[in-house]
């Protein structure tokens, strides 16, 4: 019986050849080359109609199917392992972002505390010495914004944020300027109309005055760098930083309101009216920056409306 199953010399050589191919393909699969599995399955797809080959082909076919199933299981396990590794990588990335966010949050809060501590001490010193004249107030405001700018520069350097993220970019600058001018026109018209109404109202403190007051050229020149400092510190540093450290769903609204409150408080030594109007204006500028992500148009809108409301119409008390 055993002799009948033994293949002839030619068939034996063919079986050895197939076994050798099977061995080589199995080794390639074990090394991670799953394309070699094709040669295993090819062994079972040829020679089925040849009677001399059929007995050995059945055994080879069983062996090839067994190896094929092993390959499928190995591939499945490797796929699950890759998925697990991807999930682990995602969790690690989230942990790194959380740690970085915590570090940024601490820096922003400490920076705000330092800025307002210096602001309060300076304000107390000016009140104590009774030197709250217009020029001193302006110097204090410039100093406050320079301090915010220094803190912002340290923050950006430590955390390696691109300047474009802070609005310091020329990409889209022209579109930002056009849009800011478009949105500023209605506000300018409202201000002029309000001043015209107050000038003609006997109960108004502006009664009988001219609608437009002359503006000193020196103030027009000096006001531009002040606006640039204010927008870089308020929108480029505070608003952008607060947006990063608060929940994403409401980050934009919270950042705009919080920045406007902080920005308005720094104007309280001018007057209560100045603080309220500054808060309202800052909400508008914060919204513009949120839309455009570029400071060029925001700075221009701030400058135009500031000159109009504070220096020309004098609706904001300084």
CA distance 293 to 142: 24
**pLDDT of amino acid 48:** 47
Share of the chain above pLDDT 70, in %: 81
Complete DSSP assignment for 228-244:
HHHHIIIIIIIIHHHHH
Complete DSSP assignment for the chain:
-HHHHS--HHHHHHHHHHHHHHHHHHHHHHTT-GGGHHHHHHHTTSSTT-TTTHHHHHHHHHHHHHHHHHHHHHHHHHHHHHHHHHHHHHHHHHHHHHHHHHHHHHHHHHHHHHHHHHHHHHHHHHHHHT---HHHHHHHHHHHHHHHHHHHHHHHHHHT--GGGGT---TTHHHHHHHHHHHHHHHHHHHHHHHHHHHT-TTSTTTTS-SS----HHHHHHHHHHHHHHHIIIIIIIIHHHHHHS-GGGHHHHHHHHHHHHHHHTTTTT-HHHHHHHHHHHHHHHHHHHHH--HHHHHHHHHHHHIIIIIIS--S--
The CA-atom distances, in angstroms, between 58 and each of 54, 65, 122, 205 are: 6, 11, 95, 108
CA distance 190 to 76: 69
Which residues does the chain have with pLDDT short of 70?
A: 1-16, 18-19, 22, 30, 32, 34, 36-65, 67-68, 132, 134, 318
pTM of the model: 0.68
**pLDDT of amino acid 7:** 47
**pLDDT of amino acid 19:** 67
The number of residues making up the chain comes to 318
Tell me if 173 sits within 8 A of 294, measured CB to CB. Answer: yes
Nearest CA to 57 out of 39, 71, 45, 74 is that of: 45
- Only one residue has tokens 């966010």, namely 101
What is the per-residue pLDDT across 129-139, written as a single tens digit (0 to 9) for each?
777 676 777 77
CA distance 204 to 193: 14
CA distance 161 to 159: 6
The number of beta carbons lying within 10 Å of the beta carbon of residue 236 is 22
């Amino acid at each position: 019986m055993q002799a009948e199953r033994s293949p002839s010399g030619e068939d034996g050589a063919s079986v050895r050849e197939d076994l050798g191919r099977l061995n080589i393909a199995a080794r390639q699969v074990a090394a991670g080359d799953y394309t070699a599995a094709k040669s295993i399955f090819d062994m079972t797809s040829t020679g089925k109609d040849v009677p001399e080959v059929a007995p050995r082909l059945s055994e080879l076919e069983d062996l090839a199917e067994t190896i094929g199933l092993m390959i499928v299981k190995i591939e499945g396990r490797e796929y699950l392992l890759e998925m697990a590794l991807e999930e682990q990588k995602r969790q690690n990335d989230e942990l790194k972002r959380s740690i970085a966010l915590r570090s940024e949050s601490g820096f922003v809060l400490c920076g705000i505390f330092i800025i307002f501590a210096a602001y309060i001490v300076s304000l107390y010193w000016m009140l104590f010495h009774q030197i709250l004249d217009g020029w001193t107030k302006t110097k204090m405001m410039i100093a406050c914004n320079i301090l915010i700018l220094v803190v912002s520069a340290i923050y950006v350097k430590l955390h390696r944020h691109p300047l474009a993220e802070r609005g310091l970019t020329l990409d889209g600058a022209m579109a930002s300027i056009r849009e800011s001018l478009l949105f500023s026109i209605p506000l300018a018209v409202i201000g002029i109309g309000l001043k015209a109404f107050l000038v003609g109202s006997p109960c108004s403190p502006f009664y009988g005055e001219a609608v437009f007051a002359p503006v000193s050229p020196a103030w027009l020149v000096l006001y531009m760098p002040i606006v640039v400092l204010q927008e870089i510190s308020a929108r480029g540093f505070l608003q952008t930083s607060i947006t990063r450290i608060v929940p994403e769903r409401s980050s934009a609204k919270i950042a705009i309101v919080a920045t406007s409150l902080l920005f308005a408080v720094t104007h309280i030594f001018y007057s209560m009216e100045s603080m309220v109007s500054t808060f309202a204006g800052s909400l508008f500028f914060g919204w513009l920056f949120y839309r455009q992500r570029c400071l060029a148009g925001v700075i221009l809108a701030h400058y135009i409306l500031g000159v109009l409301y504070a220096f020309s119409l004098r609706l904001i008390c300084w």
